[in-house]
Structure formats: structure tokens, C-alpha cells
Amino acid sequence: MQARRAARELAFILFSQFDEKISNYTKENMDDIIIKSIRLLISSSNEELKTSLGSLIDMKNRIEDYEAEHDTNLNRPMGAANIAVPMVMTSEMVEKIDSMIDVAEKAILGLEIAEFTTLDSQPEVKDFAVKIAQTYRDNSDKIDQIIRDYAKGWDFDRLVKMDKDILRISICELLFIKESPMKVVVDEAVELAKKYSTDDSASFVNGILAKVIVDNGIK
């Protein structure tokens, strides 16, 4: 994951924990929330990976038991190695599962390393996420009014908060920070909507941002 993309994900996590009084948050508050959020995400991901790893190991054991107890192998001489039996071909399935177990184990290790990298060695990721949040804090009234103006037919207060936060992040970048290509900002906003919000969110977010881009002459 590229640094800016990771920063947008962190900004989204940060925005999800703001209450309505964004002006009350200092940079130190934001730093603290991000650090706690990263640690929580890593802990959660570790647990999910461990659960998946346990399931894969269990699946492999079941396949090997099935193979060993198949008539083809029960009738083989004592001490002879089992041979593959139809299932999809157990040998092929075990090979694939071994590969998945290896990936999961590496992912767990990678997440542990990522905690140190993200928090200590790569401050630009956290710093850019905080920069987005500070930009929104300083321009929240303007940005929310832009969303109100373009979300015609929608009650702003009833909009899905995740959609509003994604739009806030994107508008901060498009109109105030202006450091990333417009297409990158929009594409990643749409991806965030697909990943975290409702089925209709991606098209909603894309539509609002398209209007912001056209009316502000962004290229």
C-alpha cells in the first residue's frame, strides 16, 4: 500500500472517531487517536489471521484424514505412503492450503513489523492523515456546506457518516491541500466507499466529487 493511500485510510479511521465538535481537537489528540486506532486494527487483524490460520490447518488435517481413510489407502500395505484420492485431488488441495498457511503466517509477521514501521519509521503516513484532519477542522463549515450544496435531495444529517467522512477527506485534498492528482483522490475515495460503506456509496461519492471538480475547474 502506498504512503498516501495508507494515510487516507488512517484519516478515515480518525474521522470516524470525531464527534460533531471537530474544532475541539488538537494535533496531539489526533496523533493519539491514530496511534490507538492502528494498534487496535493490527490486534484485530492478527486475531482474524490466526482464526483463518487455524481453519486452514483444520481443513488440511481433514483432507489428510480423508485421504488416509479412503478405501484406496486402507487396502494398501502397512507402512506404505498414502496416495492421492479423488476429491479434487487431495494432493493439489493440500499444496494450495500449505501455500495459504504460509501467506497467513507471513501476514501475521508483516503486521507486527508494520506497527513499528508505521508508528516509528514512516511518520509521513501519520503526518499526512493528521494534515487532512487539521485541514477539515480548519475548514469544516465550508466543506460541509459544499457537501450540502451538491447532495441535492438528500438530508445532510441523514447521510451515512462514512460517506460524509470520505467526501470530507477528498474535498480537503481537492480544494485545500492540492498535493495529489485529482484522479488519484477520486479513485481512492470510491475505493474507500466500496470497502467501508453501503452498496450505493461509491456512485454517490463519485457523483458529488465530479460536481466539485467541474465547478472548481480542477484538472
Determine the angle formed by the axes of helices 201-215 and 161-171, rounding to 10 degrees. 30
In one letter, which amino acid is 110? G
Determine the angle formed by the axes of helices 182-196 and 161-171, rounding to 10 degrees. 170
Q: Which one has a higher pLDDT value, 51 or 121?
A: 51
pLDDT digits (tens, 9 = 90+) for 66-75: 889 998 898 8
pLDDT digits (tens, 9 = 90+) for 162-213: 999 999 999 999 999 999 999 999 999 999 999 889 889 999 999 999 999 9
The Cβ of residue 103 has, within 10 Å, a number of other Cβ atoms equal to 15
Residue 34: predicted pLDDT: 79
Q: Which one has a higher pLDDT value, 138 or 37?
A: 138
The answer for 178, left when phi > 0, alpha when psi is -120 to 50, beta otherwise, is: left
SS3 percent helix, strand, coil of the chain, rounded to 5, is 80, 0, 20
Q: What is the mean pLDDT of the chain?
A: 85
Count Cα atoms within 13 angstroms, Cβ side, for 46. 14
Q: What is the DSSP letter of 181?
A: -
CATH of the domain at 162: 1.10.940.10
Helix (H), strand (E) at residue 159? none
- Domain span holding position 21: 3-215
pLDDT digits (tens, 9 = 90+) for 52-103: 788 888 888 988 898 899 988 988 888 889 998 887 677 777 877 887 787 7
Q: Which of 34-38, 49-53, 136-140, 213-217 has the lowest mean pLDDT?
A: 34-38
Q: How many domains does the chain have?
A: 1
